[in-house]
Structure 1
Amino acid sequence: MSRDRRRRRHPAPQGSPTVAAPAPRVVVAGGGIAGLAAATGLAERGVAVELFERAPYLGGRVGGWTTTLPDGTRTGMSRGFHAFFRQYYNLRALLRRADPQLAGLLALPDYPLVDAHGRVDSFLGVPRTPPWNALAFVARSPTFAVRDVPRLNARAALSLLDVRVPDTYRELDDLDARTLLERIGFPPAARHLAFDVFSRSFFAHPQRLSAAELAVMFHLYFLGSAEGLLFDVPRAPFHLLWQPLAAYLRRSGATINEGTAVHRVEQGGTRRLRVHAGERVVDADAVVLALDVAGLREVVDASPGLGTGPWRELIAAQRTAPPFCVRRLWLDRGVGSGRPAFLAVGGQPPLDNISLLDRYDSDAAGWATRHGGSVVELHAYAATGPRERVESELLARLRAVYPETTRARVVADRVEWRADCPLFAPGTFRHRPGVLTPVDGLVLAGDCVRVDLPVALMERAATTGWQAANQLLARWGVAGHDLLSVPTSGRHTVLRGLAALLR
């Protein structure tokens, strides 16, 4: 349950509880979080929804599949760790459709960060409510001492303390995250440990990440929210996470087609839009394109009559972040019992995170129990250099951070490389496509889509999915779905007033 009484509710357009017969038909392209949210929002109001997902599983970048280990074990595999933060209100609302109590999620007790010198920042026991969370964190941090506070540039620091969405994007988006932190004067150790870890969670180096994104992220996870920086993780592998929601959608009348991609959309047909998906042609009253950057570009490029010239150029200009690597290892020995389930690593490239899956994932826990071993996942965000070198360096870093793994034999090894996350580079916010498009009946959703709310990553995908559904429901006079967010501006009147004076 939410602990933040200052969270913001964003009311949806009002209208009839369901659509009038005959129900409009909507095609949703993409079965990731955004597509699932859009499909759910529409199907719940009686819309005839048909969803197409090119992968053989749902969840998009948070989906999963199974793999066979050398011992014959079938087990879950995915693209890597995902943290379900408590301020991901709209994502959690989606999951609650099939799991009202969120019993499928498990709370992790801490989110420690370690640097190359072994200094550890921890959020265990840190108050959740701002500003006490920041004060307690600074008081306990080995990388950010109280004596460092007077050295900060107050004018620049207030950009983190007085975030206002979307104004912060207009003020800071042309600046990169590293330059902002240098202007503020954060101690190098604190900057590299905490903020570099944050920026790399966007799969980008700090110099390639918008300073506005960093400021909004700081607001979302820390000074703008009383939910805290701790999070939940799925108890079961990702290939099982979305099955209950898929069943819920089917009970709501939706049709789901996995392993079938939408590759072209045309205006016309027996309804408003004609969709080419696999070998099929489907006429629809509306279409939701809930695709990653490459998929969206491909569909628009293959649909020459779709949209205006400037809009098509906008879509073509979207870019993806650098590639990232996930290496999962099944080891014949356990990792130390005192090790956290998740560890963020700073200053030890290419390693960014170490996850001990057997501490929370049911598949991994079962394998580790049977074999007396452990299942470890290593992440390299924004990885550079030859892939073989990155993969070997990840293993070397693991053995340096957790020396007990040096003697462990690798029983099974799986490596996943991807390069499909949006790049939020400086100066790009005003050039991001929005939910609405120039094409009547066509809307967009996904974490690459602009939304003027303080959301990020999975929550941005879920929020835009609900927004896409709301836009279509409003055109049919049907009630939409309210959205929630952390406060859209700084929580404290004094800080806001001081920031206004210094601007």
Structure 2
Amino acid sequence: MTTHAHADPQRIRHRAPPGLHDAAMLPARPHVVVVGAGIAGLAAATALAERGVSVDVVERENYLGGRVGGWTDHLADGTPVAVNRGFHAFFRQYYNLRALLRRNDPELRFLTPLDDYPLIDVHGRRDSFRGLPRTPPWNALAFALRSPTFRLRDLVRIDPRAAAPLAAVSVPDIYHRLDHLDAETFLEQINFPTAARHLAFEVFSRSFFTEPARMSAAELATMFHIYFLGSSEGLLFDVADTNFDGLWSPLREYLTAGQVPSRTGTVRFHTGVAVAAIDTTSGAPFRIVDTTGACIDADGVVLATDIGALGRIVAASPTLGDTAWRTRIEHLGTAPAFLVQRLWLDRPVNEDRPAFVGTGSLHPLDNISIVNRYEREARHWADHHGGSVIELHAYALPETTSADPDRLALREQLLARLHALYPETAAARILGERLLYRRDCPRLGPGDFAHRPTVTTPHRGLVLAGDGIRIDLPVALMERAATTGWSAANHLLTHWGVRGHDLYTVPTQGRSALLRRLATRESPTL
């Protein structure tokens, strides 16, 4: 699996078990159904096809990519516009996701680096990631010392023993140590400064669609490890220079046009159809039934759906799994809802506005993206109309926003925040607008880790994948989806004696031996 030119020399290679080079060498070629064509499902389908397995991918939507999918919509005047579910950051330590994307573009030319993504709060304080050293722990220390919300005296007040797990994360041990706590309580216990907590940690926790008080402290510590102290890839990220359908259409072509290296695995896509149930009493050994009543028999199944669809499929499949496993699926929860507001305005924003900015304590606004600064379809529209395409995000919404009147009120609040932060937009005319409200991201609350289902299941031929599925590696968000997808395929391939695919992650434990020793000492606050 190829990694990019600036890969961390301390990244970890997780080798796949050896085996046959191609499933064509088996007495009979295995056939797998992948349910869901998001990142996890596409990674699994790619991994299987490249080893000669026959694959059918069943996707509920009419497009690929799942929550990172893109499609075409039309404004009121009939103008076609590219739309998606909102901004995504492609961090450089997302090795397994990037390996998938390299199947279409080995050089990742469609990823564009952002030179900064500032964080601002209600008081106008601003943090920046530009120019930070790449080597841990100097990156986090430099960030803290130059932050307007963090002073040298704050470092002295932090309880070093209680805070040691932040700098000495070991996966999965960190979950056994901290998953019972919520992130807000943990930060209070270590005396982390309040202002810095709101501007830094709250911005990141809400990027997981969760308030710090409802997020596992272990997830927060793992996030700190992945993005700060566990990797030298840096804190900046890349963005896609195309709408997300531009990422997955070439991958679909790669998988269906005989371009995979084995040249023996075949992939068929079935879009616009949902799986209703899976039967283990007929078929070979799984029979997948879709909502039209059509059936596909398979030797293996990858369930790579969101949490809601996974629960519905398992509930409708009484012979699937055992009681303990079904209970784990039933207890999976979703994070609070989020809203994305995309605006097509008749005038540009000021040239000095960053392409992306995160906000702290400016509820309900969590970030602003100027889409035409990085996405070619939005740039074409903005150039043609002399305007701009702007996206506003609101995360971790209260339950009341599920009603239409509350969403409209939320829309007005977001616009008011935009106008206050970027006054030049106040007089702009809205030529087009889309509001997207969803609640389908996994919950990462205190105590969830121990009960979260893993990639493997009670059936040797049935595996799970997705960003809500447990895998004991330091990965998160899109990278967790990709990693579980590759891992799910590896489990099936190993079952058939076929070699899998190597995986890469940031180090599985903190880089400092001293901090690791401190973290393992008994601490009264944990």
TM-score (ref. length: structure 2): 0.94
Cα distance, 1:240 vs structure 2: 2.0
Distance (whole Å) between structure 1 residues aligned to residue 39 and residue 478 of structure 2: 7
Cα distance, 1:456 vs structure 2: 0.2
Secondary structure at the residue paired with 2:287? strand
Q: Paired residue for 1:404? A: 424
Judge conservation of contact 1:16–1:477 (CA < 8 Å) in 2. Answer: yes
Distance (whole Å) between structure 2 residues aligned to residue 188 and residue 466 of structure 1: 39
Distance (whole Å) between structure 2 residues aligned to residue 142 and residue 149 of structure 1: 14
Secondary structure at the residue paired with 2:269? strand
Distance (whole Å) between structure 2 residues aligned to residue 21 and residue 416 of structure 1: 49
Q: 277, 285, 290: which is aligned to 1:264?
A: 277
Distance (whole Å) between structure 1 residues aligned to residue 288 and residue 114 of structure 2: 43
User: Which has the larger displacement, 433-442 or 465-474?
Assistant: 433-442
Cα distance, 1:70 vs structure 2: 2.6
Cα displacement string for residues 37-87 of structure 1 (whole angstroms, at most 9, x for unaligned residues): 000000000000000000000000000111111332211111110000000
Q: Paired residue for 2:263? A: none
Q: Paired residue for 1:331? A: 345
Distance (whole Å) between structure 2 residues aligned to residue 371 and residue 172 of structure 1: 52
Distance (whole Å) between structure 2 residues aligned to residue 343 and residue 123 of structure 1: 11
Letter in 2 for 1:65: W
Q: Paired residue for 1:157? A: 163
Secondary structure at the residue paired with 1:447? coil
Q: 250, 255, 268: which is aligned to 1:244?
A: 250
Judge conservation of contact 1:66–1:239 (CA < 8 Å) in 2. Answer: no
Secondary structure at the residue paired with 1:268? coil
Letter in 1 for 2:217: A
Distance (whole Å) between structure 1 residues aligned to residue 348 and residue 135 of structure 2: 36
1:146 aligns with 2:160: no
Distance (whole Å) between structure 2 residues aligned to residue 270 and residue 204 of structure 1: 41
Secondary structure at the residue paired with 1:52? strand
Judge conservation of contact 1:383–1:390 (CA < 8 Å) in 2. Answer: no
RMSD (CA atoms): 1.0
1:170 aligns with 2:170: no
Q: Paired residue for 1:342? A: 356
Distance (whole Å) between structure 2 residues aligned to residue 193 and residue 28 of structure 1: 40
Q: 305, 309, 318: which is aligned to 1:291?
A: 305
1:15 aligns with 2:19: yes
Q: Paired residue for 1:72? A: 78
Q: Paired residue for 2:127? A: 121
Q: Paired residue for 1:376? A: 390
Secondary structure at the residue paired with 1:459? helix
Distance (whole Å) between structure 1 residues aligned to residue 45 and residue 138 of structure 2: 40
Matches within 5 A, 1:54-453: 54-250=60-256, 251=258, 252=260, 253-279=266-292, 280-384=294-398, 385=401, 386-453=406-473
Distance (whole Å) between structure 2 residues aligned to residue 243 and residue 320 of structure 1: 29
Distance (whole Å) between structure 2 residues aligned to residue 502 and residue 162 of structure 1: 14
Distance (whole Å) between structure 2 residues aligned to residue 144 and residue 270 of structure 1: 61
Cα distance, 1:21 vs structure 2: 4.7
Secondary structure at the residue paired with 2:318? coil
User: Which has the larger displacement, 209-218 or 436-445?
Assistant: 436-445
Judge conservation of contact 1:454–1:486 (CA < 8 Å) in 2. Answer: yes
Q: How many residues align?
A: 503
Q: Paired residue for 2:7? A: 3
Cα displacement string for residues 3-34 of structure 1 (whole angstroms, at most 9, x for unaligned residues): 31000010011111111253110000000000
Secondary structure at the residue paired with 2:131? coil
Distance (whole Å) between structure 1 residues aligned to residue 235 and residue 63 of structure 2: 30
Secondary structure at the residue paired with 2:63? coil
Secondary structure at the residue paired with 1:376? strand
Letter in 2 for 1:274: R
User: Which has the larger displacement, 375-384 or 250-259?
Assistant: 250-259
Judge conservation of contact 2:231–2:507 (CA < 8 Å) in 1. Answer: yes
User: Which has the larger displacement, 8-17 or 265-274?
Assistant: 265-274
Cα displacement string for residues 103-134 of structure 1 (whole angstroms, at most 9, x for unaligned residues): 11111111110000111100000111101101
Letter in 1 for 2:11: R
Distance (whole Å) between structure 1 residues aligned to residue 137 and residue 375 of structure 2: 34
Distance (whole Å) between structure 1 residues aligned to residue 147 and residue 41 of structure 2: 40
Cα distance, 1:388 vs structure 2: 1.5
Distance (whole Å) between structure 2 residues aligned to residue 497 and residue 441 of structure 1: 41
Share of identical aligned residues, percent?
59
Distance (whole Å) between structure 1 residues aligned to residue 318 and residue 104 of structure 2: 39
Structure 1 unaligned residues grouped into runs of 5+: none
Distance (whole Å) between structure 1 residues aligned to residue 460 and residue 246 of structure 2: 36
Judge conservation of contact 1:286–1:442 (CA < 8 Å) in 2. Answer: yes
Secondary structure at the residue paired with 1:275? strand
Cα distance, 1:502 vs structure 2: 5.2
Distance (whole Å) between structure 2 residues aligned to residue 288 and residue 82 of structure 1: 25
Distance (whole Å) between structure 1 residues aligned to residue 212 and residue 496 of structure 2: 44
Judge conservation of contact 2:101–2:247 (CA < 8 Å) in 1. Answer: no
Letter in 2 for 1:202: F
Cα distance, 1:277 vs structure 2: 2.1
Distance (whole Å) between structure 2 residues aligned to residue 33 and residue 502 of structure 1: 40
1:26 aligns with 2:32: yes
User: Which has the larger displacement, 481-490 or 388-397?
Assistant: 388-397
Cα displacement string for residues 155-198 of structure 1 (whole angstroms, at most 9, x for unaligned residues): 12111011000000000000000001111112111000100011
Q: 478, 485, 509: which is aligned to 1:458?
A: 478
Distance (whole Å) between structure 2 residues aligned to residue 333 and residue 440 of structure 1: 57
Letter in 1 for 2:45: A
User: Which has the larger displacement, 491-500 or 287-296?
Assistant: 491-500
